[in-house]
């Protein structure tokens, strides 16, 4: 079993559903994410991309189905209780340490410097000494090319720099999977490249990544597979060439990509 | 003005000032702490507790301080609560201030963007750490001014304690006025004392505000 594990998908999503009151935001989504894979989630606004991503680390408590990370059920004690009982916060926090997340709005803590943002959880979650945590945080900041900004507060960083600090904050925890929710959508166009560059580097280092994005260039060139969501349903999940370099089989995907083709982005 | 008046009444005025400061500091810091606890319970506690706190805030804010003080001091003995004037004054001061402090803290909690808290959860920070490390330090930015303001309001509310014979500043001033038939002098002194408290509080508030907003300044 143990040696088999590396061939097993690292995340298994089965029959996932999520309701906001009576609105069905996700319906019966099943998806495997393999180790070191880059999976891009695309789809129209409101199709449930963020919701799906947030179910993976239980920022949203999903209602039906399951999410497993290396076999470990995320968030719930079991799927058979009715109603389901959430894990103790201690256990959920342990799971979340394996799943890094990067948000569209960066969500840095503005009262802390770049270095402190990255070191915070190393000290208060991983229980490292302050000196060790800072060393490790410096390594993470170097990975995102921000060694010279460690003493800056977020207010004094550009959007692209803030997002790279946010990435460093996540990778310093050495997660097994990284989730990105439109990491470049809040950035000025000239800053998008520096963030995507860091993400490409992470991908080539073998990080498992799930990326919600409108950057079709990134999806086409970096993703191993692209999943298309519509109205809370997973329409297709295929290698990028199947939808970018020829006409997609599914008319819904074709219609969605047409809007990009018309603007010459793909 | 007769200067020997001040020499005669100086000690009692100063002692009144000391009692005022004592009631004000203990009462308002107590109210601050109680208010913070209420705000935390309101935010993180179970639903029935929320309703209780909501009711408490509405009732205390909806009644005059003097009535609360009367009920505690004159009504207390009938239910076995016997308090000295100073004790009753301080306790009712704590109770009176707490809902206002709770409201200030509640608005402070709301001022922190949810995304920052989600980011903290994602790296595995505990809810307690999220409050102490992420929420509280930033909350000081929007709440320092209203806190300072309310501390200033409370300096003058201490005067009400004189109605239950707490020997505070107003009480001593009135004693002096009625014994000497002077009015300008005692109330001038009274005003100066309150003014000292107010100016001290606002200076302190300004210093705190400069400190807690330092990170927001672009360099
Ligand atoms: N907390 C919430 N409460 C109620 N409805 C919600 C909530 N979060 C999301 N929704 C709804 O669920 C649907 C899916 O939302 P989601 O944010 O996942 O879409 P998305 O694909 O990420 O869209 P976008 O590209 O605009 O970010 C939307 O219709 C949205 O209005
Ligand atoms: Mg979204």
What residues have CB less than 8 Å from B3, skipping those under 6 apart? none
Q: How many domains does chain B have?
A: 1
Is B122's CB within 8 Å of A109's CB?
A: no
* Mutate which: B108, B114, B122, B132, vs A, most A CBs within 10 A: B122
Residue B85 CA, ligand 1 centroid: distance in Å: 59
Q: What is the mean pLDDT of residues B99-103?
A: 95
Compute the nearest-CA separation of A100 from chain B (Å).
7
The reply to whether residue A59 touches residue B121, judged by beta carbons under 8 angstroms, is yes
Q: Which residues surround ligand 2, an ion (CB under 5 A)?
A: A 50
Per-residue pLDDT tens digits for A128-173: 999 999 999 999 999 999 999 999 999 999 999 999 999 999 999 9
| B135-151 pLDDT, tens digit each | 999 999 899 999 999 99
Backbone angles phi, psi at A26, to 5 degrees: -135, 135
Enumerate the residues of chain B whose CB falls inside 8 A of the CB of residue A100: 122-123
Considering only CB atoms, A107 lies closest to which of B116, B124, B219, namely B116
Measure the CA–CA gap between B114 and A92, rounded to whole angstroms: 19
- Give, for ligand 1, the residue of A24, A25, A62 to mutate: max count of ligand atoms closer than 8 Å to Cβ: A25
Q: How far is the CA of A126 from the centre of ligand 2 (A)?
A: 30
DSSP B72: I
Mutate to test the interface with A, among B113, B124, B139 (most CBs of A within 10 A): B124
CATH number where B129 lies: 1.10.3720.10
Q: Which residues line ligand 1 (CB under 6 A)?
A: A 20, 23, 25, 43, 45-51
Q: CA nearest B132 in A: which residue? A: A124
Instruction: Name beta bridge partners: A86.
Output: A76
> Beta A225-230 vs A38-42: how paired, if at all?
parallel
pLDDT at residue B176, as a whole number: 85
Whether residue A218 contacts residue A40, with contact meaning beta carbons closer than 8 Å, is answered with: yes
Residue nearest to atom 2 of ligand 1 (CA): A20
pLDDT of residue B10: 86
Up-side HSE of residue A95: CA atoms within 13 Å toward CB? 24
Instruction: Of A124, A160, A127, give the one whose Cα is nearest residue A145.
Output: A160
Q: Indicate if the pLDDT at residue B216 is higher than 80.
A: no
- Name residues 143-182 of chain B within 8 A of A (Cβ): none
A259, HSE (Cβ side, Cα atoms, 13 Å): 9
Confirm whether the ipTM is greater than 0.85.
yes
Nearest-CB residue to A125 (from B113, B125, B218): B125
The tokens for A102 are 């990067």
- Sheet architecture: strand order including A208-212: A99-102, A177-181, A208-212, A38-42, A225-230, A233-238
Would the CB atoms of A97 and B134 count as touching at under 8 Å?
no
**Atom 5 of ligand 1 has which residue's CA nearest to it?**
A20
A104 min Cα distance to partner chain B (Å)? 10
Specify the ligand 1 atom closest to the Cα of A212: 22
Q: Which domain holds residue B114?
A: 3-216
Q: Is B137 on the interface with A (CB under 8 A)?
A: yes
Q: What average pLDDT does the segment B113-128 reach? A: 94
- pLDDT per position in chain A (266 positions), as tens? 444 556 789 999 999 999 999 999 999 999 999 999 999 999 999 999 999 999 999 999 999 999 999 999 999 999 888 899 999 999 999 999 999 999 999 999 999 999 999 999 999 999 999 999 999 999 999 999 999 999 999 999 999 999 999 999 999 999 999 999 999 999 998 899 999 999 999 999 999 999 999 999 999 999 999 999 999 999 999 999 988 877 888 888 888 888 887 776 65
Looking from the CA of residue A49, the nearest atom of ligand 1 is 21
Q: B138 at the A interface (CB within 8 A)? A: yes
* Beta carbons of B124 and A100 less than 8 Å apart: no
B216 in contact with A, Cβ within 8 Å: yes
- Per-residue pLDDT averaged across B47-71, rounded? 93
Q: How far is CA B71 from CA B63, B91, B159, in A?
A: 11, 12, 17
Beta pairing class for A72-73 and A64-69:
antiparallel
Q: What are phi and psi of B133, to 5 degrees?
A: -100, -30
φ, ψ of residue A93 in degrees (nearest 5): -65, -35
**Smallest Cα distance from B126 to chain A, Å:** 7
Q: Does residue B51 register a pLDDT over 90?
A: yes
Who among B115, B124, B215 is closest to A97 (CB)?
Answer: B124
pLDDT value at position B89? 92
**A108 vs B118: CB contact, 8 Å cut-off?**
no
Q: For residues A196 and B127, what is the distance between their CA atoms, to the nearest angstrom?
A: 32
For residue A176, what is the DSSP state?
A: S
Task: Order the strands of the A11-20 sheet from edge to edge.
Answer: A23-33, A11-20, A64-69, A72-73
Provide the pLDDT for residue A264. 65
Q: Which pair of structure tokens corresponds to residue A253? A: 């995907």
pLDDT at position A258? 85
Residue of A nearest to B126 (CA): A93
């Amino acid at each position: 079993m143990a040696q088999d594990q590396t061939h097993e998908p690292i995340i298994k999503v089965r029959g996932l559903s999520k309701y906001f009151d009576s609105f069905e935001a996700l319906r019966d989504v099943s998806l495997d994410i393999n180790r070191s894979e880059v999976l891009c989630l695309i789809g129209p606004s409101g199709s449930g991309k963020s919701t799906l991503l947030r179910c993976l680390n239980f920022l949203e408590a999903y209602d039906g189905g399951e999410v497993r990370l290396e076999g470990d059920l995320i968030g719930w004690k079991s799927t058979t209780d009715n109603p389901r009982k959430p894990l103790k916060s201690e256990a959920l926090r342990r799971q979340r340490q394996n799943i890094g997340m990067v948000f569209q709005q960066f969500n840095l803590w503005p009262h802390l410097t770049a270095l402190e943002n990255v070191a915070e959880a190393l000290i208060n979650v991983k229980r490292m000494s302050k000196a060790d945590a800072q060393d490790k945080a410096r390594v993470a900041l170097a990975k995102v090319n921000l060694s010279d900004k460690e003493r800056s507060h977020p207010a004094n960083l550009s959007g692209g720099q803030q997002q790279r600090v946010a990435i460093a904050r996540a990778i310093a925890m050495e997660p097994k999977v990284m989730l990105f929710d439109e990491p470049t959508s809040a950035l000025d166009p000239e800053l998008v490249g520096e963030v995507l560059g860091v993400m490409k580097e992470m991908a080539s280092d073998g990080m498992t990544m799930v990326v919600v994005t409108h950057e079709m260039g990134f999806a086409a060139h970096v993703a191993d597979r692209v999943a298309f969501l519509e109205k809370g349903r997973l329409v297709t999940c295929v290698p990028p060439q199947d939808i970018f370099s020829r006409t997609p089989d599914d008319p819904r995907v074709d219609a969605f990509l047409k809007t990009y083709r018309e603007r010459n982005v793909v | 003005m007769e200067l020997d008046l001040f020499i005669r009444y100086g000690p009692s005025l100063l002692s009144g000032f000391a009692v005022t400061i004592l009631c004000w500091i203990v009462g308002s810091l107590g109210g601050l702490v109680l208010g913070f606890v209420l705000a935390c319970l309101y935010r993180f506690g179970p639903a029935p507790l929320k309703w209780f706190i909501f009711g408490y805030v509405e009732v205390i804010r909806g009644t005059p301080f003097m009535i609360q003080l009367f009920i505690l001091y004159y009504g207390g003995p009938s239910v076995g609560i016997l308090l000295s004037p100073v004790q009753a004054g301080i306790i009712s001061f704590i109770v009176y201030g707490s809902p206002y402090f709770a409201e200030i803290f509640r608005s402070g909690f709301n001022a922190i963007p949810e995304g920052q808290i989600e980011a903290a959860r994602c790296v595995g920070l505990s809810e307690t750490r999220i409050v102490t490390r992420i929420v509280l330090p930033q909350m000081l930015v929007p709440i320092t001014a209203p806190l300072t303001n309310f501390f200033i309001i409370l300096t003058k509310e201490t005067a009400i304690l004189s109605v239950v014979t707490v020997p505070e500043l107003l009480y001593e001033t009135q004693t002096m006025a009625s014994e000497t038939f002077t009015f300008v002098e005692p109330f001038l002194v009274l005003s100066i004392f309150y003014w000292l408290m107010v100016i001290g509080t606002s200076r302190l508030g300004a210093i705190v505000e400069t400190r807690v907003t330092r990170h927001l300044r672009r360099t």
